Chains A and B, each alone.
Chain A
Amino acid sequence: MGLNVIVTVLLNGFAMGMIYALIAMGVILLIRAIGVLNFAQGDLLMVGAYITYALQVDMKLPLWLMIPVALLCFAAVALIFMFSIYWPLRNASYPAAIIIATMGASIVIKEIVMLIWGGLPLRMPPLFSNPETGGGRLLTIGSVNLQWQLIITGLVGAAAIGVVFFLFEHLYAGKMLQAASQDKFAAELIGIPTVITTAATYIISISLACIGGYMVGPIFTVSVTLGNLLLRAFAGVIIGGLGNIKGAIIGSLIVGIIEAFASVRISTYKDAVIFLVLLVFLVVRPQGIFGEKIQDKA
């Protein structure tokens, strides 16, 4: 492999890893806050891709208007999702019921999207497109050509994750969210409205996935199969460290990079390679790279 190939593959892996990290972070936020494993997170990413497709290509909104409208739509999707799937089941006698409901939601979301936009994959123009060819613009450094879309994906992903970290660690609102996720009952006693914190957690978590969808749309095509990215994010969650958000982000990046190199060498088995690495991690270091002890709040 020449330098060109290695750098391109690394960038590709890093960008995809960022997408997985966005999903993984959302999944972990939900597990920590309400103890629910959300099987529809990947499909919500797909919804994000379709929403931005509708705004950008169908309605032709300019970028400065599109971003706030898209964010509002993401929040609306999150609230609809929360009040239809989580809220009726929050006091369910059997915790697995919510998880099954999210599986049902995953099917429903796929089908609704197919009914609205049809089953065919849609082509979404990249953020910096080359006006002559319509393809993505390249950044050329020396002999290395890099796609702008991948670079932007990495940057936007990092920025989104950074904003959430800032919110959780430095702002009063973030501390409220953390308190509510650690002990709902005690948080209510000291006057934190857990309805609002739960809704906020859902909005943050699902917006992260939807932003990932916006970024990944031009890299692949916008189609229903985007929902399957969820499985890679799951792998990243375990490799990084259980319940540890920083670990999950790094784990997701590792998964992305392994995947990128695996698809150069042995593309038919690239799924198997990722998950075999995962199983090896389970044997050798079940607590993940950054996990200290195995625990589960769910």
Chain B
Amino acid sequence: MKIKKNLSKLFILLSCILFIVIVPMFFEGYSLMVINLSLIYAIITLGISVMLGMGGQLSFAGLAFMGFGAYFVANFCSGRLGFTIPTLLALVLAPLFCGIVAFLLGLILLKLKGTYFTFATIALVQVCFSFFTNYRPLFGGPDGISEIPSLSVGSFTFSSYNQWFYLSVGILAAVAIVVERIRRTSFGRSLASVRDNDMAALTLGVNVYMSKVKAFALSGVLGALAGAMYAMQGNFVASDLFAYNNATQFIIMAMVGGVNNTFGCIVGSVLITILPEIFRSLERFLQLFYGLAVIVLMVFMPMGMAGVGSQFAKKIKKILGINKLKRSANSTHSKGVSK
């Protein structure tokens, strides 16, 4: 068990370092911006991983919270309200504010169960989108809000895509570590028990409702953080990003990577953001292949790439003969979602 854990940790660490070193060497300008965006999207995907992977609740609300975060920064930092607050403070306040909003919304929405909760989050995305597009005083209407300053700490301003790359990697790593840590706390475990069998969780004394609400608030915080970063990096927010169709994109990212695996979620969002840019030459068939790929992926690897990875690791271990005795004890951990 120890060997396996260390091996996969080593693999993840190595690939991360490789990624950080290689990417800024080979990419610049637009392509580096796309990579930065994919890292920002990965933060939202991690929020979905907390809700769907840990708690078993399919939620589209991440995109709405991303919108809140982005417009929070846009309003308070661009000076369109008549005053500005420091960008660093905004980057902290936006997730905090959205966390509270998400908590209150969660108290209402999570009275619904399963599929109907999903309907309600779709409604939330739709309401937000329609206000983002139409209400000018706060959201700039269809023109969006421009001239948002980039993040500055003290006298240092993150202005180039290169600097944003390192910043995004740093924040994403911090978020990933927090999420990975939450999996192992009592909160994470109670969420997992809610996902697998809420009745059993209830008899074990888990507060099913509040665990879900907390997870929803957490996904709100992560969504807002991503939104704030998005607004600062692009210096511009427009409402078309927050349409319902894009919300499905994030769910697909999480599922393709492996919804219950932190690293998998990040890989999924990076791949799904970058691959369409690589295959631009397919033009009108691009979306068709994307949809087909999603279906095929779900048919052959419903646990995403992370699921395939862990199966592959098991096979390698079998060949190497490592860990024969402990596999049965280990399986409950590595299996992830059992039902």
Contacts and interface: CB of A to CB of B under 8 A. Distances in A.
Contacts of A275: 123-124, 126-127, 130
Please classify the interface of chain B as helix (H, G, I), strand (E, B), loop, or mixed, using the class held by over half of its residues. helix
B130 A238 contact: no
A282 B134 CA distance: 24
Interface string B131-163: 100100000000000000000000000000000
A238 B121 CA distance: 12
Nearest to B111: A286
B292 interface: yes
B255 A282 contact: no
A283 B108 CA distance: 6
Contacts of B259: 94, 96
B166 interface: no
A167 interface: no
B112 interface: yes
A283 B109 CA distance: 8
Most buried by B among A104, A110, A279: A104
Interface stretch (B38-46, B178-186, B294-302): B294-302
B119 interface: yes
Interface string A77-112: 000000011001100111111111101111110111
B288 interface: yes
A231 B298 contact: no
Contacts, number: 140
B303 A93 contact: yes
Contact of A108 (B291, B298, B302): B291
B44 to A, nearest CB: 16
Contact of A103 (B109, B248, B299, B302): B248
A100 B134 contact: no
Q: How large is the interface on B (under 10, 10 to 19, 20 to 34, 35 or more residues)?
A: 35 or more
Nearest to B131: A272
A235 B123 contact: yes
Contact of A97 (B108, B122, B298): B298
B273 to A, nearest CB: 16
B244 interface: yes
A115 B288 CA distance: 9
A110 B287 contact: yes
Interface in A274-298: 275-276, 278-279, 282-283, 286, 294-296, 298
Nearest to A91: B302
A234 interface: yes
Interface string B318-339: 0000000000000000000111
Contact of B119 (A88, A108, A238, A294): A238
Contact of B127 (A99, A238, A272): A272
Nearest to A95: B339
B108 A282 contact: yes
A98 B298 contact: yes
B118 interface: yes
A262 to B, nearest CB: 11
Contacts of B298: 89, 92, 97-98, 100-101, 104
A296 B58 CA distance: 14
Contacts of B293: 104
Interface of B: 52, 58, 108-109, 111-116, 118-120, 122-124, 126-127, 129-131, 134, 244, 248, 251-252, 255, 259, 284-285, 287-288, 290-295, 298-299, 302-303, 337-339
12 contacts: A37-B115, A89-B298, A89-B302, A93-B339, A99-B58, A101-B294, A110-B291, A269-B134, A282-B120, A294-B111, A295-B113, A298-B115
In order of increasing CB-CB distance, the 6 nearest A-B pairs are A104-B294, A107-B291, A97-B302, A296-B114, A108-B291, A111-B288
Given A97-B298, A101-B294, A279-B108, 16 more contacts: A84-B295, A85-B295, A89-B299, A96-B259, A103-B252, A103-B294, A107-B290, A108-B292, A110-B287, A111-B288, A242-B112, A268-B134, A269-B130, A278-B123, A294-B112, A296-B113
